[in-house]
Amino acid sequence: MRYPLEPDHEEMHLLAEDVMERTIAFVDSLADHPASLAGMPEEAIRDLQRRLLAPPPEGPQDLRDLLGRIEEASAAAVESAGPSYLAYIPGGGVFAGALADFYARATNRYVGMAATAPGLVALEWSVVCWLADVVGMPPQGGGLLVSGGSIANFAAVVAARERLGEQLWDGTVYLTEEAHQSVGKAVRLAGLPRRALRTVPCTKDLRMDVQALRDMLAQDRQEGRRPFMLVASAGTTNTGVVDPLPELAALAQREELWFHVDAAYGGFFLLTDRGRRILDGIDRADSVTLDPHKSLFAPYGTGALVVRDLAALRAAHAVSGHYLQDLDEHEVPDFADLGPELTRELRGLRIWLPLHLYGVAAFRAALDEKLDLAQHAYRRLAAEPSLDLPWPPALSIVGVRVRAEDPEVADRRTRAVLERVNLGRRVFLSSTIVEGRFTLRLAILAHRSHLSRVDEAVDAIIAAARTVAGA
């Protein structure tokens, strides 16, 4: 009897070699891939989508044909894995992480509970403990690997929410307009009303205004509200700015607020000396969101929440079921007790393998390089008279505007620069609104972005700014 879902030894080799060959060819050619779909006719994309929407057939098809189709689908994309991706918050995708994933998926161990795969759960737990240590959490700390920063922020709100007991309607959470949208979403998902979100103004340098926060807390308490959580950003998505963590930590302690730091973008700069200075105070948080799929260069689908007291995470998430009665207690935690998932993928291996294979120093050097590149890009752009750089980069995001007397003209010209640069398809940039002004962003974080590509981006911005300013 032949079971098609269980290929034999030789078939497995043929399948895997085909996939591996094409994957390596893809990575080899990354530097030459067009940066984005800019300029590609929409009709061509719609036509591709229509073809790819076909349902599966009743019988088998040839793997090579199918891989060809997958490659065609994958090619129509913003090149988020290559050196050209300088938009939004770049991701990573170190090759060793993909190999770890292949192994994890093929072996398909059950890691929701420690009893079913105690070795692999310990291995993932070693990663979590390392992350908690990088942040500076005490020994009773810990955390959980989740799918990304949004879910980490959600788990943090769920843990903090325990402070309100069963009654949620009068609880309040404090954050600035610069906080990532996923925090507001997390508060809503955690069952709190919209009015629970209290937006604290920023000072001129786009950081949370501590005095304004103090005043809001006093006012809210007077009006019968129950402040329970303060969310600071350690590297905002817009500008990379870090809130004043030591002052906020002290205030949160005095006011008995759960202090959460969203370090999804900036967190791993803690591995560098400069980053540790900039992120000073993060070790006083009750919880910290990290996103290994951003600044630790892991493949997408890898976020983390680390907490000061693991018991708080467990108290918010642990439940039991009779069907789990055969599973013993272990030295390492049951991940299912720490977050919303029971059955879950093994996320730790895709961080563990690259860290052990290359060593922490390789990651530190890559992050130091990003800080240097941001300073380099800032210096070059700031020297160009047609450009205005509203703030120096706190970490690795550089904001740029075209200079013009009239802010509306400046906004229009900055938008035109973005379009021109992206049409070149050598680099992909994005924009945002800061202080009501259209601002181009250069976000330098991908492990494959090095000096030559950053210089290309800077050259393209300067050339486009000169053209639009003369137009």
Ligand X SMILES: Cc1ncc(COP(=O)(O)O)c(C=O)c1O
Q: Which residues bind ligand X (CB under 6 A)?
A: 89, 148-150, 153, 180, 182, 233, 237, 262, 264-265, 291, 303
Closer by beta carbon to ligand X, 186 or else 462: 186
Nearer to ligand X by C-beta: 175 or 460? 175
CB 307 within 8 A of CB 286: yes
User: What is the closest distance, in whole angstroms, from the C-beta atom of residue 255 to ligand X in the complex?
Assistant: 23
Write out the two tokens for 195.
């009015």
Which CB, 89 or 288, lies closer to ligand X? 89
Q: Residue 153 or 172: which CB sits closer to ligand X?
A: 153
DSSP string, 216-227: HHHHHHHTT-EE
Contacts of 317 (CB under 8 A, 6+ apart): 155, 158, 159, 337, 338, 339, 340
Residue 379 Cβ vs ligand X, minimum distance, rounded to whole Å: 25
Q: How far is the CB of 46 from ligand X (least distance, A)?
A: 27
Q: Which residue type, as a one-letter code, is found at position 459?
A: D
CB of 180 vs ligand X, minimal distance in Å: 3
Neighbours of 246 (CB within 10 A): 12
Identify which of residues 80 and 233 has a Cβ nearer to ligand X in the complex.
233
Nearer to ligand X, 124 or 291 (CB): 291
Q: How far is the CB of 237 from ligand X (least distance, A)?
A: 4
Q: Three-state DSSP class for 339?
A: coil
Instruction: Round to whole Å and give the CA distance between 49 and 341.
Output: 32
CB 266 to ligand X: min, Å: 8
Residue 4 Cβ vs ligand X, minimum distance, rounded to whole Å: 37
Find the shortest distance in angstroms from Cβ 174 to ligand X: 16
Tell which residue, 171, 186, 175, has the closest CA to residue 213: 175
Residue 160 parent element (H or E): helix 149-161
How far is it, in rounded angstroms, from Cα 198 to Cα 171?
Answer: 10
Could you give the dihedral angle defined by the CA atoms of residues 450, 456, 460 and 462, in that order, rounded to the nearest 10 degrees?
A: 80
Shortest Å, Cβ 152 to ligand X = 8
Q: Which of 176, 200, 174, 178 is nearest to 187 (CA)?
A: 174
Residue 149 Cβ vs ligand X, minimum distance, rounded to whole Å: 3
Q: CB-wise, 97 or 148, nearer to ligand X? A: 148
The alpha carbon of 304 is separated from its chain's Cα centroid by a whole number of angstroms, namely 10
CA-CA distance, 294 to 265, in Å (whole number)? Answer: 6
Closest approach of Cβ 334 to ligand X, in Å?
24
Using alpha carbons, list the distances in angstroms from residue 153 to 97, 316, 341, 352, 398: 23, 14, 15, 23, 25
CB nearer ligand X, residue 91 or residue 112: 91
State which amino acid sits at residue 367: L
Residue closer to ligand X by CB (options 196, 264) is 264
Distance from C-alpha of 106 to C-alpha of 168, rounded to nearest angstrom? 43
Q: Which two tokens stand for residue 201?
A: 């103004």
Distance, in Å, from the CA atom of 81 to the CA atom of 390, rounded to the nearest integer, reads 29
Nearer to ligand X, 155 or 468 (CB): 155
Asked if 428 contacts 84 with a C-beta cutoff of 8 angstroms, the reply is yes
In 3D space, the residue among 152, 135, 462, 470 whose CA is nearest the CA of residue 304 turns out to be: 152
d(CA 408, CA 399): 17
* CA–CA gap between residue 403 and residue 465 (Å, rounded): 9
Name the minimum Å distance from CB 449 to ligand X.
16
Pick the closer one to ligand X by CB: 206 or 264. Answer: 264
Closer residue to ligand X (CB): 238 or 272: 238
